Amino acid sequence: MPLTILHQSDRFVVIEKPAGLLSVPGKGPDKADCAASRVRAMFPRATGPLVVHRLDMDTSGLMVFGLDEGAQRELSRQFEDRLVEKAYVALLETIDVDIARSPLAQDSGLVDAPMRVDLDNRPFQIHDPEHGRPAQTRWRVLAREPDRVRVRFEPITGRAHQLRVHASLPAPLCLGAPILGDVLYNPTDHRLARELDETPPRSPRGRLMLHATELSFLAPGTKRREEFTSPPPF
């Protein structure tokens, strides 16, 4: 799983993370390989914690790392203050979706569905309007294909699994069309992954069709807005 450097400066680096690679180390020596550890190996003079944000292991696309403690802190603050602009492309499976009754009948919209972790089924996330944290996602249809819709997502908030949950939960609150290849929230991929009985679970239908395609932030120090794009590999 090659990791591609798109841009590097004295204070930050932007990479393309491949699907299947962790963003940060997991528990145990078998989960030590990750985007953060590879960046640290490539930039041995980097200081500080590096990590600014994360992508799910099965999500590919753009990530930024701070190469010094001040840059990491400044970039992290931008994510917290929602100054970072980011967008994703996903393929949603619609073979069992009544498009006429779905928000996907429109060309764009906003999903507003608070979320929290399912305490009895981690890392699964669920909608909880009472105890969940605010979660909002703008979406726009890019193309309508046989049994699937290509969608651009712009997350306003940054909850774990937010795009995957907002795609899969039933309409009209959410889109009711799970992302293709999602072994957690797409019933077909979940069933196929269980039949394979592999760790980590994977679907024989292919990877999770979710890619971080745009990333824009203020460069540490200069405050100049930097913009990066990465076309989806699907």
Q: Are strands 4-8 and 12-17 parallel, antiparallel or unpaired?
A: antiparallel
- CA-to-CA distance for 101 and 144, rounded, in angstroms? 16
- For 228, the token pair is 């990066």
Residues tagged active-site: 56
Name every residue whose Cβ is closer than 8 Å to that of residue 168 and which is 6 or more positions away in sequence. 174, 175, 176, 177, 178, 179, 182, 185, 186
Question: Residues 6 or more apart from 5 whose CB is under 8 A from it?
Answer: 13, 14, 15, 42
* Measured CA distances, 201 to 124, 189, 193 (Å): 14, 10, 6
- Distances 93 to 137, 145, 233 between C-alpha atoms, Å: 18, 10, 17
State how far the Cα of 128 lies from the Cα of 13, in Å rounded to an integer: 36
In angstroms, how far is CA 232 from the centroid of its own chain? Answer: 13
